[in-house]
Structure 1
Amino acid sequence: MSLTGQKKERHMRMRQFLVSFYPLILVAAAIGFIVVPAVGLASPAAQQGQQQFPKLQLSLDDAVKLALRQNLDIAFIDYDRDIAHQSIITAEGLFDPVVGVGTPGTPAVVGTVAGGFGQTAPPVGGVGFSSSESPSTTALAGAPVSESQGFNTQVRFTHQFDFGFNYQFGYNIGRSTSNSTFTNLNPSWNNTLGFAFAQPLLRGRGKEASGAQLLLAKRNAEVSDHVFRTQVETILFSVVQTYWELVFAHRNLEVSQRSLQLAQEQLGRTQVQVEVGMLAPIEETQAEVAVAQRRNELIIARNGLEDATDNLKVLLKAESLPGGWETVIDLTDAPEITPRQADIDEEIQSALANRPEIATARAQIAARQVEVNVTRNSMLPALDVVGGVTFVGIGGDTIVREPFPGQKIIEILPGGYGDALSALYGFGFSTWRVGFNFSMPIGNSTARGNYAQATLNEDKARTELERTEQQAILEVRQAVRAVSAAGELVTSMAKTLELAKQQLTIEQDRFDVGMSTNFEVLAFQDELRRAEAQELRAMIDYRNAQALLARVTGSIVETWGIRIQ
């Protein structure tokens, strides 16, 4: 037998020996390589007495609801919405009725008997007492030294409407005494009841002129509502996306663990064949390098899982979870999907009708239109119709004197406030007035400048609406394509993964019989690792693409059955 024949025979005996004991040897090597790294890569919690943290089972629906209740970004932006709605109440306060009782130093709605309608109250104020002494400069004063004392008060009710009309009711009462011999009532009581109104006919007429602040407050509240919805949709999308990224991180860690296990099993096979002389020692080194590399990948995958977990906890407000930041989150939703096709025209129409950003832009146009109408009205001349009616009643002790120039008191007929009140409500003494007030600034440059600015702001708001609609259409088109592409990738990557598993099985069988190299087996293991990760990535991308499509069409809130109040 030749030397070459002897070598072949010895090689065949060695192969038969390996085939007989190979399964046993492989199991022993695999156990050694699996157990030892598992101990070395155990988590800090496992190495420190297996500390147990509170566990939270979480579906995607649970995560969405929990985020809406506890997310700090939503709570923060909700304050702005509340503030905007409170500004409506503040603006409405401008048209609240006002009751004044004896307000010192303010104009009286109705004047005294001597002053007449629309005059100011006595110098002592709305409620006050007065006393004066002064030397007489004429015989008609009725005394060498004029002395008088008095009391005066007023009650008035004022109300302004948001369309420009305003009115006032007022009641004045005064009592005075004098030492003048020409006074017939002493003490005397003066009562005045009056009603006055004013209605702008040009400038200041209508709700958009007189009630502009209230209208703007309402428009701004609408804007705030749409901004709040935008924030809610953004948070919802972030929760959905972060949830699926955490699912990916969990599955990716499992893929890395399986990849490490395959590399360890291959190292066991290689060591067996090196020991029996079928492979050179360099092959064992190559397998050990692959194990080290995949252990590094496992460490990176575990760190990525922890980061993804923290990202979800932030959206859920980690401090409110059962164990705070240390809560163990157990996800219950799987990423497996059934791809579907979206109709791009329907999705675009949905976006134009439902996107809160578009609704915000339209509300901004409405607010700018209010400003345009206000500034246009301010360029008009001021023409107001004003009017009022006053009723007077007087009473007091009536002094009967001798004819002039005697002035001797003959009789005093008792009287008082009751007489004055009876005379007032007899409506026998009245004064009424109706008139027009007109004014017009020369040039009116300020009003014209304000109107020009308001018109430009309205045009700018309309342009912003067009930009927002165009951007929405672009985002919808991209999202529809993303859903379609992700669905195709899911199908394609599933087939790729199946083929990668078959290739690795074939190559391992060839390696066991000496027909393949360690390098080729490890290369196919890497291919399987990539195929598993890519299939998982495709499923997560499809889930995220669906969420993005719901976000850009403005339907993500309805998708999760959420009602924003």
Structure 2
Amino acid sequence: MDRLSRKNLRGWIAYACLGSVALTGCHPVDRFHAWRDSKSVSYYQDFITRIEEPVPSSCMQTQVPETLNPFAIENPSELPAMELSLQDAIQMALQNSEVLRNLGGTVVAAPQGLPTQIDPALTDLNPLGGTQAALAAFDATVNSQLFWQKNDLPQNFSPSGLPPEIANLLGVFAFNQTLGTNINQIQKRTATGATYALRSNIAYDRNNRPNRKYESDFSGFLEAEYRQPLMQGAGTTFNRIAGPNGVVGQYNGVLIARINTDISLADFENGVIRLINDVETAYWELYFAYRALEAQISGRENALRTWQRIRELQKVGYRGGEADAEAQARSNYYLFASQLNDALSGTNGLYAAEQRLRYMIGIQATDGRLLKPVDDPIQAEVMFDWQESLSDATNRRVEVRRQEWTIKRRELELIAARLNKRPRFDALTRYRYRALGDHLFGARNPNESTDSFFSNLGTGDYQEWQGGFEWNYNVGLRQASAAVRHAQLNLAREVAVLKEQQLRISHDLSNAARQISRSYEQMQINYNRIEADKLQVEVLRNRYEKGLININFLLQAQQQLANSTSSFFRSLVDYNLAIRDFHREKGSLLNYNQVSMAEEPLNGSMLSGAYEQGRYFTPRDNPQDVIVRDRVSAGPFDPTSVGTPGQGTFGASASMLEGSQDETLKGSPMAQPSSQGFGASGTNPSEIRPPESNLETMPK
């Protein structure tokens, strides 16, 4: 082996060793182990392992720092009162409802599922499946490319044995080139699935080939292209449902996106209904808390007077002042005092109920004032037309309308799946103008047609065209057939869910009607209990003062009077809540509380588009020749139209709704509730049936 071979061998061995080391990687040697047994952790390790606290820059100041100390055992009569009607409570709740609250209070534990005012806007502006995203698929797209490059390419060419003249004509050993490329394209897709494209391609070329006319030149073309699907992907129906870029089983068209927005609006309306439902619950529960507190105060005062009477008899030694009687009266007094404390500061007491109402209307927990309801609950009997109410509940309720939107979406998906069960067959045409020029602009030599690129392009001397068809077929269409069957099953499922919802709604409405009758009857019974207990207390007090009965009978009668008074107001509140529940189950709770909803006003560009589209709705000279497509929507829906005004249905008149349009709060950014004026408890007294003769002793 010669010296050169041995040198090459040593080099290859060295390279192999370096490669083996590189493949194994590097591993630092851990030389220090003392810190593993150390009892104290270093400051740096403690610093980098601690939990950080975020400092967001978009947080706004809230009313929480303004909250005062909560009320506990203060006397409510000594606190400044803030009189509040149910109308004002609902209006404040709607104005302060960026997040639609509920009495469950899940905003801290599970904030992800809370409905907010901006949820419809989030759905509509979703960049993946929103309305604007679906429309963006039909926007024109502009693509532009500009590249500059230098090429130095060796050639497999040998001029040996050839005359110099021929060798120069055949080529050079190294190909040197300066190349610039500019490609511009504008493309537009239509609702029928067709694609228009206008494309330009200009290349600058300067190289060392010896047989060129110009040392450098500009070459390229300008072409127009049109592609029209004839089977799969063709037609406005498919493209409006599935979108032009849709795949099998995925439907992202503008109709689907708009239905998703309508479903989100229905969810928002449902959240507003729950908000109003909870506000009314909190309002009447606070009313009951005041009445229950008054009943306990009255019972405590009666117990105190009885105890004081017995102590006076005990001091003078008269009959009735026995020690056991005094102890029983004192125990009864402290029993009322304990119940009074619970009615004031307990879990279901006055201050707790007042704070729940404060939370629902969106104000701080304590501001030094005490909320006081000023509206009186309904005491007269309210009657509803059952068949009309059942029809409204099963057809116009927001949950039913939401499910109907879902069914409409499934129907459109089935249509798109059937239209997609076809081969891909496209017609394609292309027309092209080519040109060549020594310069890009401006002709130096008018007699030379190829002196300027754009001048040569304008002459149209070099034209090309292409036309034909493209065919793409998946044998058996297995995936498309599965998509059709999947869409059919989805539609069948949603129809079954709608039927089940209507059945459940009919049961809930029946139970709500039963609760109205039960609570009204219970209210009469409890009022009669009050009258009987009042008479019983007076009779037993007189008999006890005469020494005819034991003190226990009087104390029990006083306790029964307090309980019957509290039970009456409990049944009165339950009666009003039962009426509220019936309207909620019927789907007319917004109408009952005079709340209307609307999407935000159109902006300038949308108004101009509406003006342009308005000409399609003008009367035609020959309306029989106008082609009307199947409607996706049944038209605008007003939630306040559920439940027509009548006996027992506290609806707004048409003039009231028309006159209060200026007060409707438009949604931001999509939809927002508003509160309009209504009477006490949302009722019109002229529409309430007067009490019957057996209720003439009902309190006024």
Query: How many residues get paired?
Result: 481
- For the residue of structure 2 that corresponds to 1:563, the secondary structure is strand
State the shift of 1:83 in Å: 1.5
Q: Is the 8 A contact 2:449 2:456 kept in 1?
A: no
Aligned to 1:306: 351
Amino acid at match of 1:382: R
After superposition, the CA RMSD in angstroms is 2.9
CA deviation string 1:314-359 (max 9, x = no partner): 212343x7x45x5421222223532211122111222233321111
In structure 2, the CA distance between the partners of 1:417 and 1:487, relative to structure 1 (3 Å rule), is farther
Q: Is the 8 A contact 2:310 2:325 kept in 1?
A: yes
State the shift of 1:259 in Å: 0.6
Q: Is the 8 A contact 2:171 2:209 kept in 1?
A: no
* 1:330 is the counterpart of 2:359: no
State the shift of 1:518 in Å: 1.7
Aligned to 2:138: 95
State the shift of 1:130 in Å: 4.5
**Residues in 1 aligned to 2:176 and 2:457: alpha-carbon distance in whole angstroms:** 27
Aligned to 1:394: 436
One of 225, 233, 238 as aligned partner of 2:273: 233
Q: Is the 8 A contact 1:142 1:179 kept in 2?
A: no
In structure 2, the CA distance between the partners of 1:230 and 1:413, relative to structure 1 (3 Å rule), is closer
Point out the more displaced range, 53-62 or 433-442: 53-62
Aligned to 2:201: 172
* 1:560 is the counterpart of 2:593: yes
One of 490, 512, 521 as aligned partner of 2:554: 521
Q: Is the 8 A contact 1:230 1:357 kept in 2?
A: yes
State the shift of 1:265 in Å: 1.6
* 1:85 is the counterpart of 2:124: yes
State the shift of 1:418 in Å: 7.2
* 1:539 is the counterpart of 2:572: yes
CA deviation string 1:250-292 (max 9, x = no partner): 1100000001111122223333444443234322222222212
CA deviation string 1:127-162 (max 9, x = no partner): 334445554759698353155443321211012234
Q: Is the 8 A contact 1:201 1:385 kept in 2?
A: yes
Aligned to 1:24: none
Alignment of 1:85-234 (within 5 A): 85-87=124-126, 88=130, 89-102=132-145, 126-132=146-152, 134-135=154-155, 137=157, 142-145=169-172, 147-180=176-209, 182-205=211-234, 206-207=238-239, 208-211=241-244, 212-214=251-253, 215-234=255-274
Aligned to 2:478: 445
Point out the more displaced range, 345-354 or 545-554: 345-354
**Residues in 1 aligned to 2:564 and 2:73: alpha-carbon distance in whole angstroms:** 31
Point out the more displaced range, 435-444 or 277-286: 277-286
Amino acid at match of 1:243: Y
**Residues in 2 aligned to 1:152 and 1:525: alpha-carbon distance in whole angstroms:** 101
Aligned to 1:295: 337
**Residues in 2 aligned to 1:452 and 1:97: alpha-carbon distance in whole angstroms:** 35
**Residues in 2 aligned to 1:479 and 1:270: alpha-carbon distance in whole angstroms:** 49
Amino acid at match of 1:386: L
In structure 2, the CA distance between the partners of 1:486 and 1:94, relative to structure 1 (3 Å rule), is same
Amino acid at match of 1:166: T
**Residues in 2 aligned to 1:449 and 1:188: alpha-carbon distance in whole angstroms:** 56
Q: Is the 8 A contact 2:437 2:451 kept in 1?
A: yes
Amino acid at match of 2:359: V
Point out the more displaced range, 477-486 or 66-75: 66-75
CA deviation string 1:525-558 (max 9, x = no partner): 2222222112111110111111111211222122
What TM-score does the superposition give when structure 2 sets the normalisation length?
0.63
CA deviation string 1:478-535 (max 9, x = no partner): 1122223222333333333223222322222232333333222222222222221121
- For the residue of structure 1 that corresponds to 2:438, the secondary structure is strand
**Residues in 2 aligned to 1:447 and 1:377: alpha-carbon distance in whole angstroms:** 9
* 1:248 is the counterpart of 2:288: yes
**Residues in 2 aligned to 1:130 and 1:237: alpha-carbon distance in whole angstroms:** 75
Q: Is the 8 A contact 1:340 1:484 kept in 2?
A: no
**Residues in 1 aligned to 2:277 and 2:268: alpha-carbon distance in whole angstroms:** 14
Amino acid at match of 1:391: Y
**Residues in 2 aligned to 1:413 and 1:58: alpha-carbon distance in whole angstroms:** 91
- For the residue of structure 2 that corresponds to 1:202, the secondary structure is coil
**Residues in 2 aligned to 1:439 and 1:251: alpha-carbon distance in whole angstroms:** 78
**Residues in 2 aligned to 1:232 and 1:100: alpha-carbon distance in whole angstroms:** 46
State the shift of 1:186 in Å: 4.8
**Residues in 2 aligned to 1:478 and 1:342: alpha-carbon distance in whole angstroms:** 14
Q: Is the 8 A contact 2:137 2:243 kept in 1?
A: no
- For the residue of structure 1 that corresponds to 2:115, the secondary structure is helix
- For the residue of structure 2 that corresponds to 1:514, the secondary structure is coil
Alignment of 1:445-464 (within 5 A): 445-464=478-497
**Residues in 2 aligned to 1:383 and 1:490: alpha-carbon distance in whole angstroms:** 75
Q: Is the 8 A contact 1:203 1:378 kept in 2?
A: yes
Q: Is the 8 A contact 1:66 1:316 kept in 2?
A: yes
Q: Is the 8 A contact 1:193 1:391 kept in 2?
A: yes
* 1:315 is the counterpart of 2:360: yes
One of 304, 318, 336 as aligned partner of 1:277: 318
In structure 2, the CA distance between the partners of 1:140 and 1:99, relative to structure 1 (3 Å rule), is farther
Aligned to 2:424: 382
- For the residue of structure 1 that corresponds to 2:137, the secondary structure is helix
Aligned to 1:69: 95
Amino acid at match of 1:248: F
Unaligned runs of 5+ residues in structure 2 are 1-70, 102-113, 160-165, 245-250, 440-444, 598-670, 672-700
**Residues in 1 aligned to 2:423 and 2:551: alpha-carbon distance in whole angstroms:** 96
Aligned to 2:66: none
One of 526, 529, 532 as aligned partner of 1:499: 532
Q: Is the 8 A contact 2:73 2:341 kept in 1?
A: no
- For the residue of structure 2 that corresponds to 1:441, the secondary structure is coil
State the shift of 1:229 in Å: 0.9
Alignment of 1:42-53 (within 5 A): 44-45=73-74
Point out the more displaced range, 147-156 or 551-560: 147-156
Point out the more displaced range, 535-544 or 157-166: 157-166
**Residues in 2 aligned to 1:259 and 1:449: alpha-carbon distance in whole angstroms:** 74
Amino acid at match of 1:83: L
* 1:550 is the counterpart of 2:583: yes
In structure 2, the CA distance between the partners of 1:542 and 1:51, relative to structure 1 (3 Å rule), is closer
Amino acid at match of 2:590: V
Aligned to 2:45: none
**Residues in 1 aligned to 2:80 and 2:139: alpha-carbon distance in whole angstroms:** 56
Unaligned runs of 5+ residues in structure 1 are 1-41, 103-125, 398-411
**Residues in 2 aligned to 1:556 and 1:71: alpha-carbon distance in whole angstroms:** 18
Q: Is the 8 A contact 1:396 1:416 kept in 2?
A: no
Point out the more displaced range, 208-217 or 302-311: 208-217
- For the residue of structure 1 that corresponds to 2:595, the secondary structure is coil
In structure 2, the CA distance between the partners of 1:140 and 1:381, relative to structure 1 (3 Å rule), is farther
State the shift of 1:246 in Å: 0.8
Question: Could you say which structure has the higher helix fraction?
Answer: 1
- For the residue of structure 1 that corresponds to 2:596, the secondary structure is coil
- For the residue of structure 1 that corresponds to 2:387, the secondary structure is helix
CA deviation string 1:90-148 (max 9, x = no partner): 3332322111222xxxxxxxxxxxxxxxxxxxxxxx43344455547596983531554
**Residues in 2 aligned to 1:388 and 1:140: alpha-carbon distance in whole angstroms:** 41
**Residues in 1 aligned to 2:215 and 2:89: alpha-carbon distance in whole angstroms:** 85
In structure 2, the CA distance between the partners of 1:417 and 1:271, relative to structure 1 (3 Å rule), is farther
Q: Is the 8 A contact 1:396 1:415 kept in 2?
A: no
Q: Is the 8 A contact 1:341 1:483 kept in 2?
A: no
In structure 2, the CA distance between the partners of 1:136 and 1:300, relative to structure 1 (3 Å rule), is closer
